[in-house]
Structure 1
Amino acid sequence: MAVPFFCVAVAILAASKPPDLLISRDADLFAARTSDGLAVSTMSKARYSREQWTAMIGASSVYLWSTSTTNKPPPVRCDRFGCSLGETPHRISFAFTPEALREDCQTATLLIAAIPVRQNCPAPSKIIDRFDVWRDGAYALWIDGDEIKSRSVRQVRGQRPWVRSR
């Protein structure tokens, strides 16, 4: 009798795709799944999250974005203000400073900010900023063409009486 349930479980696991982008609960670590492994924004912060993400997606290696050895997906370009992945119209921006928001709010499809986004930001179809991760926890994002799906820890966990709302 357990065989049909086992088959359904195996089918669900086989069909589930690991996230393309990950954001830590403090917005101090961002990661992208690549054919090389896991590309991360920093190696000096959120070590536990980085290790858990590596195990979750089954990555064989972890490296900084700036050291990518492949062109698929396009390499991440970074400066002291932030980073960007891809080209317009499918540009993902990671803003670390308020200066980065000026450009990113005009050109990005998806904006992930380590700082609060308090200004009008017309271009991105989705914005995840420091307040979002503070309120909802870490995020996982799946990108399928023009569609961006996201799930936060709070969405998965649900509302529980013993978990304080921020």
Structure 2
Amino acid sequence: MSNNTYAPSNPEAFTVQFGNDPESFMSKLVASRPFIEGERIGSLGVSHPSSAPVYSTVQVGREAHIELDSDLRYTNHSCQPSTLFDTVTMEVRAARDIEAGEELTYFYPSTEWKVTQVFPCWCGSEQCIGDVQGASYLSPKALEGHYVNPHITALVQEGSKKE
């Protein structure tokens, strides 16, 4: 997608920054304005159900995945995220105060039980989980301190009962 044909979905709240290298897939979502902790940034409701999980879907239930129809699909992972994806209210909210121009990120295991394409996390935080594989590969302790959606919490509890 070239910048000449790109039309932002919600420029008052966020925009996508694409890498300068045409061969690069690097992109990121950035805040267009400041947000305070807990503030609604956008809706996950503009989406389509997906018949199968793929790298670009968000898991919104035990077996349910959606394909986002907005720039929110450019939200990258971080182990110290600036946002949270709430699959109950279908909203994205600020996990902490966010400055204008700051990257919007979320903790992928908060929605994903297993990701279809494992990738290394580059966040560099002390709490970094290393390879992002989904919540099923993390200990309950590794999930502590993160907002985790109810479908992931239920799956973690079921898994810990089996051990």
Give the TM-score, by structure 1 length.
0.27
Greater fraction of residues in helix: 1
Give the TM-score, by structure 2 length.
0.28
